A and B are shown apart, each in its own frame.
Chain A
Amino acid sequence: MKSVYLTLVLAPLLGAVIAGLFGKKIGRTLSHSVTILGVAVSCSLSVWVLSQFIADPGKVDNFTIYHWLVSEGIDFQIGFLVDSLTVLMITVVTFVSLMVHIYTIGYMQDDPGYQRFFSYIALFTFSMLMLVMANNFLQLFFGWEAVGLVSYLLIGFWFQRDSAVYANLKAFLVNRVGDFGFLLGIAAIFMFTHSLDYQDVFAQAPQLALETIDIIPGNSWDLMTVICLLLFVGAMGKSAQVPLHVWLPDSMEGPTPISALIHAATMVTAGIFMVARMSPLFEWSETALAVVLMIGTITSISMGLVGIVQTDIKRVVAYSTLSQLGYMTVALGVSAYAVAIFHLMTHAFFKALLFLGAGSVIIAMHHEQDMRKMGGLKKYLPITYWTTFIGSLALIGFPFFSGFFSKDSIIEAVAVSNIWGAEFAYMMVLLGVFVTAFYTFRMFYLVFHGPERMDHHTKAHLHESPLVVTIPLILLAIFSVLAGLVIEPLLFGEYFATAITVKPEHNVLQNLEFHSIIEFVWHGMLQPPFALAMAGWFLAWFLYMKRPEEAERNKQKLSIFYNILAKKYGFDEFNAWVFAGGARGIGQLLWKLGDAKLIDGWIVNGSARLVACFSGLLRHIQTGYLYHYAFAMILGLMFLLLQIWYIAPAP
C-alpha cells in the first residue's frame, strides 16, 4: 500500500515539475497532458483506495516515508496516516482537481502563462495531498504552508495587474497570521507530549486535558483550551473565518479555475479538515468548541449578508463560500465533525460547479465579471445555465440535492446541541438559509434571466463554452445532486468511527433520528429551513424578476445597511489603517529614531565626535611651532623657579 500512496502523492508533483521546468520546451499540449495524467493517476488511485475503505472503514494505514530529522530521540518524520477521513478528502481533492485541470484547457487557452498555470495547479494538488495525508504536525504544517504558497502564486498569476499582486500579498500575510497561532499550538503540543506524531499525541490527550499552563504569570489556563484555540487560529486563517476572512474575497483576482479549486473546494476547507482531524483534542475543551461555534456562526451570517450586495459574479460566489465555511465551522463547534466533513464534500462539488459555471459565463462575456452588464444568458449558454441551476439548488439546500442533506444535518445538529451559544447559533444558521437562497438566486436571475444588458459587441460573440469546459460542469453537476445520498453511512453509520472522536456527551448525531433518505427529506421539508429557503428564493425572484425597480428603491431606503454591507463592515479599511499602516509607522519610528538617531547618532557617531572633540582640544597644544614650545618651556621654567623661590623651605 505504501507504494500506492506514494504514487498517489507524487504523480501530481512529477507533472508539476515537468510542466514547470520544461514547459516552454515541451509545449502546451504536452504540459497539460502530463499534469492531467498525474492528477488522473492520483484520482483513480484515490477512488480505488476509497472503495477499500468503504468495505472496511475501520482500517488505518500509518507509514513513515523518511526521517526528516531526529533530535533528542524525538523523531520528526514525513509519513502518511490514511484512514476513512483522509480517504474521503483525497478523493474529493483529486476529483475536483482533475475536473479543474480539464476545465483549464478551455479557460486558459489564450494565456501566455499556460504551462506555468498547469504546473501550479498540479503542485497545489500535491501540497494538498501532503496536508491531508500527514501523520504528524510537521508535515501538516508543511502542507498547510505549501498550499498557501501555491495560493499566493496563483492569486498573483496575472502579476502585471496591481490588484492581483496586492491580493496575493494580502492573502499570504493574513494566512501567516493564522499560521502564527497554528505554529504556537504545535509548539505547545510538542512541549507537553514530546512528539509531533498524531497517534502519540491523541493517545496522550486525556492526560493533556488535566494539565494547565501559565501564560500570564499567576493565571493557570487549561492547556487543552490553549492548544485548541491556537490551532483554531490557524484554521481561521486558512478557512477564512472572521476576522481573518479578508483575504478570500480579494483572492478572486486569480484565474477562475483556481478560485474553484483552491478558494472554494479544497484549500479553504483545510482548516475544517484540520479541526476534524484534531477532534480527539478539541473534544477535551468545551471552551474551545464554544469559540469555534461562535466564530463559525458570525462568519456564516455576516458574510452571507455581504454576498447580497456584491455585483461581481465571482465575489458573490466568494462570499457564499465564506458563509458556507462558516456553516462547516458551526458544525465543528457542536462536535458534529462528521457533518462538517459531509458539508465540506458536498460543498466542494457544488461550489466548484458554481465557480466553474461563473468562469464559463466570464469566458462568454469576454472577461466581464459585472453582473449588471449581464442578463438573459440562458439562451446563449444552455449547459452552463442548467448546471449552474443545479449548483444553486444544491447551495440553497433544495430537497434531494446534496446541499440539502448536509446543511439540514448541520442545522439539526445545532438544534440539539447544548454547548454554550448553541441557541444563538441556531437562530443565525436558520437566518443564513434565507440569506443564502436570496443571494444565490439574485445572482442566478441577474446573470441568466431578465433583460440583456451587455453591449452589442459582446452579445454578438456569445456562445456556449467548449467541451473541455462543459464536461467538467456536467460531471460536477451530477455529483452535486448525488453526493448527498451517502448521508447514512457518513453520519449515522460506522464510516468515521475510528477517524473522528466524539465524547458521548457531545454526540449530537445520536440524538438525530435517521431512518431513510426519503424520510429525512420528508422531515426536512416540514422544517423551517426549507420554508426559509423558499422564501429567500421567492424574494430574489420578486425583486430581480418581477419588480426590478423595487430592488433599487429598497437599496435607497435601506442605504445605511447597504453601505455597511458594501463596505464589508470596514474590515479592509481597518486593517489597512491599523495593521499595515501601524506596522510601517512603527518601522519608521524604530529606524529613524532608534537606529539612526539613538544608536548611530548618539552612541556610535557620538563617541566618534567625543574622541574628535577631545583630540581637538589636545591638538591646540601641539602646534608644531618652535616658538610655542619655547614659550611653554619658559613658562614652565618660571613656574618651577617661582615655586622653589617662594614655597620651598630654605635649605
Chain B
Amino acid sequence: MSELPLLSLVIWLPIIGGSLVLLTANKGEQWVKWLSLLIAVLTFIASIPLYTEFQIATAGMQFVEHMAWIPTFQVAYYLGVDGISMPLILLTTFMTILVVMAGWEVIQYKNHQYMAAFLIMEGLMVGVFSALDAVLFYVFWEGMLIPMFLIIGIWGGPNRVYATIKFFLYTFLGSVLMLVALIYMYLKANSFAILDFHTLPLSLSEQTFIFLAFLLAFAVKVPMWPVHTWLPDAHVEAPTGGSVILAAIMLKIGGYGFLRFSLPIAPDASNELDWLMITLSLVAVVYIGFVALVQQDMKKLIAYSSIAHMGFVTLGFFLVFAIQDNTGSIQGAALGIQGGMMQMISHGFISGALFLCVGVLYDRVHSRQIQDYGGVANTMPVFAAFMVLFAMSNAGLPGTSGFVGEFMVILSAFQANFWFAFLAASTLILGAAYTLWMVRRVIYGAVANDNVAQLQEVNFRETIILTVLAVMVLLLGLWPAPLIDVMTPSIDLLLEHIAKTKL
C-alpha cells in the first residue's frame, strides 16, 4: 500500500470540492452539475482502493492515519477502518454519486448550494465512519447534521420547518449525553482514542450509564422505537436526495455506533440490557410493520418500512448474549452481527432506490399520496419493472439483497429464542403486505387519472440510476460472500472482545 492518506482524501476531497462548488454560483447551472458529479465520482474512485487493497485477513484497523491535533487534551486526528466501517464508507461514496445525479434536473433553486451540501455531507459521513478519535468522531457526527438540516429546511416540502426542528432537536438531544460519556471516559483513560476506550476497565454501573448515554444517541439515529417519530416527518419533507442519504447512510451511523462504541466499551452493560435492545428491535419489526400498512403517503410508508428493517440490524447485533444463555456458546452470534451489517448495506441500496422511485413519480405528478396514482405500469412499464424489483427486495425476496440480512438474523435469532425468530419472521408477511399493497395501488390497475395517463417513461438519467441500484441489489442477493468475507475477521474480533467481561 502506498503512503497516500486515502481516508483523508475521501473525507476532504468532497468537503473541499463542495466548498468549491459553493463558489461557482455565477458559472451557471451546467458547470455546477458537472463539477459536482466529477467530485462525487472522483471521491468514489478514491474510495475503491479501500476495498481492493483491504487486507481481508486483518481484523484490526487499516489505512491508519494518526496526527496530533490538540495535544493538551490528547486529541488526535486519528483515522482508520476495519471490516465493519469500510463497507459503509463505500456505500456512502457510491450513493452520493446517485444522489448528485438524482438532483440533476429536479433542483432549480440554489442548485450550487444543494450540490455543495451533499458533497460536504459525504465527507463528514465518511469522517464519522473512519474516525478513531472520540472528539474527531463527535465533530463529524454533529457536523453532519448541519448540511442535512439545510437540505430539508431549504429544499424541503411545505411543513419543512417543523420537520427540521424535530430532526435537529431529536438527534442533538441524543448526542449531548454521548459527549458526556466520551468526556467521562477520557478522564478515566487519559486518551480520546476509541480503541483505548475498548480496553478501558469500567464497573457495571459506569458501563450502564455509558451504555444508556450511547443508546439515546444511537437509538435516535437508527431510529429505534419509540424515538423514531422524527424520521417519517423528516422523510416526507426532505427532497428526494435528502431522503436517499438519510435512509441509505445516516441511519446506518446509529447501527455503526452500537458496534463501534456500545458493545465493545460496555460489554457487561450490553449483556445486562440486551433484553431491552431485543424488545425494542422486535417492537420495531412488528409494531412499525403494522403502522406501515396503513400509510397513505408513499414516503411515509417507506420511512416506516426503514424503521422496521433497521429493527433487524439492532436485533442481529444484540443476540449474542441471549444465544450464549440459551445454547452455552456464542456459535451463531456472528451470523446475527453479519446479518445486521448485511441488512444495513442492503437497506442502503433498497431504501435509496425506493425513495428515488417515489422521487421519479413526484417529479412528474407532484404528489406522494398513494391514492393519486394507480396503473402507472400502463404508462411507465420500465419504471414499473424497477419498482416491482425494489419492492420485492424490500419484501425480502431471496435472490435480492433484502433477503440476505433478514435470513441471517432470523437464523441467528432462532438460536437465542424461538419467539425472537417468530416475531422477526413476521416481517415475511408484514413486509410483503405493506410493500406489495402499495405496489398494487400505485403500479397496477387501470390508469387512474389524467396525471397517470400523461406520465412520461423514465429518462436515460433515471434509468442509469435505477439500473445501477438494481444490479447492486441483485448482485448482493445472489452472491453476498465478497461483502461478508471482508467483515468477518473484524466481527470475530469484536465478538471475542465482548464475550470477555470487563469486570
Tell which of B332, B398, B418, B419 touches A142, judged by Cβ atoms closer than 8 Å.
Answer: B398
Measured CB to CB, the nearest residue on chain A to B162 is A605
A-contact bits for B299-337, CB 8 A (1 contact / 0 none): 000000000000000000000000000010001101100
- Given contacts A142-B398, A159-B377, A165-B445, are A184 and B425 in contact (CB under 8 A)? yes
Q: Which of A579-608 contact B (CB under 8 A)?
A: 583-584, 586-588, 590-591, 594-595, 599-600, 603-604
The 3 closest A-B pairs by CB, nearest first: A187-B414, A587-B294, A165-B444
Q: What residues of chain A lie closer than 8 Å to B229, measured between beta carbons? A: 595, 599-600, 604
Residue B50 interfacial (CB < 8 Å):
no
Given contacts A72-B334, A160-B444, A587-B294, 16 further A-B contacts (CB under 8 A): A69-B484, A71-B484, A160-B378, A179-B428, A180-B428, A180-B429, A184-B422, A184-B425, A187-B425, A190-B414, A191-B327, A194-B331, A213-B418, A584-B294, A591-B295, A594-B287
Contact of B484 among A70, A159, A162, A168 (CB under 8 A): A70
Output the least CB separation between B50 and chain A (Å). Answer: 21
Query: In the complex, what distance in Å separates the CA atom of A160 from the CA atom of B399?
Result: 28
Interface residues of A (CB under 8 A from B): 66-72, 138, 141-142, 144-146, 149, 152-153, 156, 159-162, 165-166, 168-169, 172-173, 176-177, 179-180, 183-184, 186-188, 190-191, 194, 213, 215, 583-584, 586-588, 590-591, 594-595, 599-600, 603-604
Contacts of B415 in A (CB 8 A): 191
**Beta-carbon contact of A71 and B338 below 8 Å:** yes
Question: Complex Cα distance A322/B230, Å?
Answer: 48
Q: Is the CB of B446 within 8 A of A160?
A: yes
- Assembled-state Cα–Cα distance A594/B350 (Å): 27
A-B contact count (CB 8 A): 139
- Are A72 and B331 also in contact (CB < 8 A) when A583-B290, A587-B293 are? yes
Residues of B within 8 A of A172 (CB): 432, 436
> In the complex, which residue of chain B has the Cβ closest to the Cβ of A77?
B481
How far is B401's CA from A68's CA once the two chains are assembled, in angstroms? 12
- Are the CB atoms of A72 and B332 closer together than 8 Å? yes
Q: Can you list 7 A-B contacts with CB-CB less than 8 angstroms, sorted by A residue number? A: A138-B407, A144-B398, A145-B397, A145-B403, A156-B444, A172-B436, A191-B332
The minimal Cβ–Cβ distance linking B22 to chain A, given in whole angstroms, is: 33
Contact surface of B with A, Cβ cutoff 8 Å: 166, 170, 226, 229-230, 287, 290-295, 327, 331-332, 334-335, 338, 375, 377-378, 388, 392, 397-399, 403-404, 407-408, 410-411, 413-415, 418-419, 421-422, 425-426, 428-430, 432-433, 436-437, 440, 443-446, 478-481, 484-485, 488
A179: B residues at CB distance < 8 A: 428
Cα–Cα distance between A182 and B426 once the two chains are bound (Å)? 12
Whole-angstrom distance between the Cβ of B122 and the nearest chain A Cβ: 29
B290 & A187 in contact (Cβ 8 Å cutoff): no
> A194 vs B335: C-alpha distance in the bound complex, in angstroms?
12
Q: In the assembly, what is the distance between CA of A184 and CA of B419, in Å?
A: 10
Q: Which residues of chain B have C-beta atoms less than 8 A from A68's C-beta?
A: 478-481
A176-B287 CB under 8 A given contacts A72-B335, A191-B415: no
> In the complex the two chains form, is B287's CB within 8 Å of A173's CB?
no
What B residues does A599 contact at CB under 8 A? Answer: 226, 229
Cross-interface CB contact of A173 among B388, B408, B436, cutoff 8 Å: B436
B411 touches A590 (CB 8 A): no
CB distance from A604 to the nearest CB of B (A): 6
Which residues of chain A are near B291, meaning CB under 8 Å? 587, 590-591, 594-595
Contact partners of A159 in chain B: CB under 8 A: 375, 377, 443-445
Q: Nearest Cβ in chain B — how far from A323, in angstroms?
A: 27
Nearest-CB distance from A591 to chain B (Å)?
Answer: 4
* Cα-based distance from A66 to B397 in the complex (angstroms): 20
Could you tell me the distance between the alpha carbons of A66 and B480 in the complex, rounded to whole angstroms?
11
Q: A70-B481, A159-B377, A180-B428 are in contact. Are A149 and B397 (CB under 8 A)?
A: yes
Establish whether residues B338 and A176, one from each chain, have CB atoms under 8 Å apart when the complex forms.
Answer: no
Known: A159-B377, A162-B446. A187 touches B421 (CB 8 A): yes
- Taking a contact as CB atoms under 8 Å apart, the answer to whether B437 and A169 are in contact is yes
CA distance A144 to B398 in the complex (A): 9
Nearest CB of chain B from residue A611's CB, rounded to whole Å: 10
Using Cβ atoms and an 8 Å threshold, which residues of chain A touch B432? 172-173, 176
Q: Which residues of A contact B293 (CB under 8 A)?
A: 583-584, 587
B166 — which chain A residues lie within 8 A by C-beta?
A: 604
Task: Kindly provide the distance from the CB of A582 to the nearest chain B CB, expressed in whole angstroms.
Answer: 10
Q: For the complex, what is the distance from the CA of A16 to the CA of B413, rounded to whole Å?
A: 37
B445–A71 touching, CB < 8 Å: no
Q: Which of B229, B327, B399 has the most CB of A within 10 A?
A: B229
Task: Give the residue of B331, B419, B436, B485 whose beta carbon is less than 8 angstroms from that of A169.
Answer: B436
B399 contacts A183, CB within 8 Å? no
Query: Which partner residue on chain B sits nearest A598 by CB separation?
Result: B226
Q: How far is the CB of A196 from chain B (nearest CB, A)?
A: 9
Chain B residues near A194 (CB-CB < 8 A): 331
Q: How far is the CB of B234 from chain A (nearest CB, A)?
A: 13
Cβ contacts under 8 Å, A173 to chain B: 429, 432-433, 436
In the bound assembly, the distance between CA atoms of A215 and B440 in angstroms comes to 37
Give the shortest distance, in Å, between B189 (CB) and chain A (any CB).
32
CA–CA, A252 and B404, complex, Å: 32
A71–B334 CB distance below 8 A = yes
Q: How far is the CA of A162 from the CA of B411 in the complex (A)?
A: 37
* Chain A nearest Cβ from B8, distance in angstroms: 32
Give CA–CA (A180, B440) in the complex, Å.
Answer: 22
Question: Which among B287, B413, B445, B479 is the interface contact of A160 at CB below 8 angstroms?
Answer: B445
The answer on a CB contact under 8 Å between A176 and B446 is no
- The answer on a CB contact under 8 Å between B287 and A184 is no
A152 and B334 CA atoms in complex are apart in Å by: 34
Most buried by A among B327, B399, B426: B399
In whole angstroms, what is the CA distance A260 to B166 when docked? 55
A587 touches B292 (CB 8 A): yes
Cβ–Cβ contact A188 & B437, under 8 A: no
Q: Which of A70, A71, A138, A142 has the most chain B CB atoms inside 10 A of its CB?
A: A71
Chain B contacts for A587, CB-based, 8 A: 290-294
Contact A71 B429 (CB under 8 A): no
Structural contact, A177 and B397, CB atoms closer than 8 A = no
A-chain residues with CB within 8 Å of residue B411 when the two chains form the complex: 186-187, 190-191
The closest CB in chain B to the CB of A183 belongs to B425
B443 to A, closest residue via Cβ: A159
**A156-B444, A583-B293 known; A145+B398 contact, CB < 8 A:** yes
In the complex, what residue of chain A is closest to B293 when comparing beta carbons?
A587
Neighbour of B426 across the interface among A160, A180, A584, A595, CB < 8 A: A180
Interface centre among A72, A146, A161, A173 (most CB of B within 10 A): A72
User: Are the CB atoms of B484 and A591 closer together than 8 Å?
Assistant: no
A211 CB → nearest B CB, Å: 12
Q: Given contacts A142-B398, A145-B398, A165-B445, are A184 and B392 in contact (CB under 8 A)?
A: no
Bound form: Cα–Cα A587–B305 in Å: 13
CB proximity of A224 to chain B, nearest CB, Å: 15
Bound Cα distance from A591 to B434, whole angstroms: 14
* Closest residue on chain B to residue A143 by CB atoms: B398
Closest to B300 in A: A591
> Is the beta-carbon distance between B410 and A586 smaller than 8 angstroms?
no
Q: Which residues of B contact A162 (CB under 8 A)?
A: 445-446
Q: A172-B432, A173-B432 are in contact. Are A586 and B332 (CB under 8 A)?
A: no
Q: Which residues of B contact A138 (CB under 8 A)?
A: 407
Please name all residues of chain B whose beta carbon is closer than 8 Å to the beta carbon of A169 when the two chains form the complex: 436-437, 440
CA distance A183 to B427 in the complex (A): 12
* Assembly CA distance A71 to B392 (angstroms): 25
| Contact status B331-A66, CB under 8 Å | no
Smallest Cβ-Cβ distance to B482: which chain A residue: A69
Contacts of B399 in A (CB 8 A): 142, 145-146
Q: CA of A600 to CA of B199 in the docked complex: distance in angstroms?
A: 39
Task: Given A159-B444, A176-B428, A176-B432, decide whether A586 and B290 contact each other with a Cβ distance below 8 A.
Answer: yes
Nearest B residue (CB) for A596: B229
CB distance from B319 to the nearest CB of A (A): 12
What's the nearest-Cβ distance from chain A to residue B486, in Å? 12
Q: Is the CB of A215 within 8 A of B418?
A: yes
Give the residues in chain A near B479, CB-CB below 8 Å.
66, 68
